[in-house]
Amino acid sequence: MIDFVKKYKFVFLAAIVVIAALVFAFISGGKSEPPANQSVPTTSAISKIPMTTAEPQPTQATTTAATAAPSAQPTTVHASSKPVASTAPPSQTATQPPTESHAPVTTASAPTSKPQPTAPQTKPAAHHCTVSVTCETALSRRDTLSEDVAAVIPDDGSILKPVTMTYREGQSVFDVLQEACRANGVHLEFTDTPIYRSAYIEGIGNLYEFDCGAGSGWMYRVNGWFPNYGCSRYTVQDGDVIEWLYTCDLGNDIGGKNDYHESD
């Protein structure tokens, strides 16, 4: 047996080195930098995940970017954000986001997945969004809930009143929620695997998923639209109004009906 080990010493060494490299990659890969986040909306838009973000002045953004870099080089990732449907009603955006209209826009900016250092200077640094957390659906059902759950629900159904948050470029809805909760002393529990950017909100203000039945949990709405993907995949845009809503019925009671559930 000792001979066996001696003979394949290098094989064992190589295996250990490979495992160590993988472990290192797993750990360090967790800390993704904001510029790396930037690249994902373009790639996800190609894979037909709808990315309907409401840009307040989309035309202005593109023009300023164009003056800064008049060459044919495609500009910032902000230019890729959809200039249409900024004030569209929520139902419309929710039902038909992956239209063909903005597909060319995203493909145009796809080659520049790398962040451009000039971009932040051309844009005025006014990164603000609004975050609020409410549980009105749970409040209306308070009498049917157990004593312990009912004690958690505030009387006005608002766990976090709308607050204006300053965010850094490339931060996701999840990052902003976490910062807002910390700043206001609101309890927040989540599970998150940063390399997959799969943050899932389990409970806010000690009101947890499944507290009001099997179909209950936290959902988020941005400018009246329920994105059908995770909150750490949504990159916040300037002026976004982010609402975290508690649902008791898989989103049906707050207007965030999921298309996947409609099919089955």
Partner 1 sequence: MRDSFSDRHPLVNFLFFAAAVTFSMFVMQPVCLGLSLVCASAYAVYLNGSAVRRTLRWLIPTAVLITLVNPLFNHRGETILTYFPWGNPLTLESMLYGFASALLICAVALWFSCVNRVMTSDKLVFLFGRVAPSLSLVLSMALRFVPRFSEQLRQVKQAQACFLPRGKQHVIQRLQTGLHIFGIMVSWSLENAIDTSDSMKSRGYGLKGRTSYARYSFHGRDAVILAAILTESAALAGMLWSGMLRYRWFPSLRGELIGAPSAVFYVLYAALLLTPLLINIGEAIEWKRLRSSI
Site residues (CB under 8 A) for partner 1? Answer: 1-2, 5, 147-148, 151-152, 178, 182, 185, 187-190, 192, 203, 206, 208
3-state class (DSSP) for residue 148: helix
- Number of continuous H segments (helices) and E segments (strands) in the chain: 11, 7
Q: How far is the CB of 207 from partner 1 (least distance, A)?
A: 9
Tokens read off for 194: 């940063």
Q: How far is the CB of 189 from partner 1 (least distance, A)?
A: 4
Q: How far is the CB of 2 from partner 1 (least distance, A)?
A: 5
Q: Hey, which bits of 127-229 come out as E strands?
A: 128-134, 158-166, 188-191, 200-204, 207-208, 217-222
Q: How far is the CB of 227 from partner 1 (least distance, A)?
A: 21
State which residue, 18 or 163, has the beta carbon closest to partner 1.
Answer: 163
For residues 138 and 157, is the Cβ–Cβ distance under 8 A? yes
Find where tokens 């160590």 sit: 20
Q: How far is the CB of 187 from partner 1 (least distance, A)?
A: 6
State which residue, 171 or 178, has the beta carbon closest to partner 1.
Answer: 178
State which residue, 110 or 186, has the beta carbon closest to partner 1.
Answer: 186
Q: How far is the CB of 202 from partner 1 (least distance, A)?
A: 8
Backbone φ, ψ for residue 171 (5° rounding) = -75, 150
Q: Are strands 128-134 and 158-166 parallel, antiparallel or unpaired?
A: antiparallel
State which residue, 188 or 248, has the beta carbon closest to partner 1.
Answer: 188
Q: Count Cβ atoms within 10 A of the Cβ of residue 201 and give its class: 0-12 exposed, 13-18 middle, 19 or more buried.
A: buried
State which residue, 29 or 89, has the beta carbon closest to partner 1.
Answer: 29
Facing residues of 165 across strands? 129
State which residue, 203 or 230, has the beta carbon closest to partner 1.
Answer: 203
Tokens read off for 164: 């204006």
For residues 234 and 227, is the Cβ–Cβ distance under 8 A? yes
